[in-house]
Amino acid sequence: MSSITGKTAWVTGAGSGIGRATAVALAKEGADVVLSGRRKAQLDETARVVEKQGGRATIEVLDIVDAAAVEAAARRIHDRFGRLDVLINNAGTNILERAWSSLNPARVDEILGVNLNGAFYCVLASLPFMRAQKDGLIINIASMAGKRVSPMSGPGYTAAKHAVVAMSDSINMEEFANGIRSCAICPGEVATPILDRRPVPVSDEDRAKMLQPEDLAETVIFVASLPRHVCISEILLAPTWNRGYAAALQGPISTRVRRNPLEG
């Protein structure tokens, strides 16, 4: 495994959930971590957690739907550290309207703006620095919704995450000669604040069985610690207690699946 010590890592959506856990984990491994998000108070809290662990954190308050602001932030990061080694495209959101019958253009713009356009803007802003140093890693926190279509995630989120997975793969196709690798991490349900935007509330009991932000952070560390000549293009991970499987077993197939095989 390679060392992350001394590398510059930019984490979007770093104010909570997966972003916060990932930033803390990267800092523990010795990276200089740049925290981005819209809410400074949340970023300040993440920075305090990082610093309590003996790590180093810099804050870049940023709304990633603003392409010019993203480009300016990337340049400030490079000016400060002299390089940009790792981009963690983590910022994301979902909306309550998760059926075509309830969608409208404004809500479509909101969900695609954060989950897709913002990810593109961060990649576009980072690539010139990574090309110049002939080295770089982009980790896109996608979703199982980027691999499978489900009414639970809604058409907007599902379409955006499918596009992010494709975007990540296209980076590998075009930028491998520049030493740049991209990985799409596609988790199933994760116990983060985004669950609060579900139309159907999720119980504390179910949240405890889900993937936790720290699980995703460990996955990021694994990918970031691999040697430069290794590219993992995609990772799928899910909680052992899978609510999708549990729901499927309540359907007509349940009697067939649960039947004692000795009964013939």
Torsional class of 6: left (φ above 0), alpha (ψ -120 to 50), beta (otherwise):
left
The residue from 157, 168, 210, 239 that is catalytic is 157
Contact between 4 and 80 under an 8 Å Cβ cutoff? The reply is no
User: How many CA atoms lie within 13 Å of 162's alpha carbon, on the beta-carbon side?
Assistant: 11
Contact between 122 and 12 under an 8 Å Cβ cutoff? The reply is yes
Residue whose structure tokens are 């560390």: 221
Range of the domain at 235: 8-263
Identify whether 157 is part of a domain.
yes
Sign of CA dihedral 141, 51, 10, 223: negative
pTM of this structure: 0.90
Identify whether 1 is part of a domain.
no
Residue range 133-149: average pLDDT? Answer: 96
pLDDT over 80 at 120, yes or no: yes
What is the predicted pLDDT for the residue at 256?
A: 39
Identify whether 3 is part of a domain.
no
pLDDT over 70, % of the chain: 95
Catalytic residue at 157? yes
Identify whether 245 is part of a domain.
yes
How many domains are contained in the chain? 1
What is the predicted pLDDT for the residue at 254?
A: 43
74: domain CATH number? 3.40.50.720
Task: Round to whole Å and give the CA distance between 213 and 218.
Answer: 9
Identify whether 166 is part of a domain.
yes
pLDDT over 70 at 263, yes or no: no
Identify whether 195 is part of a domain.
yes
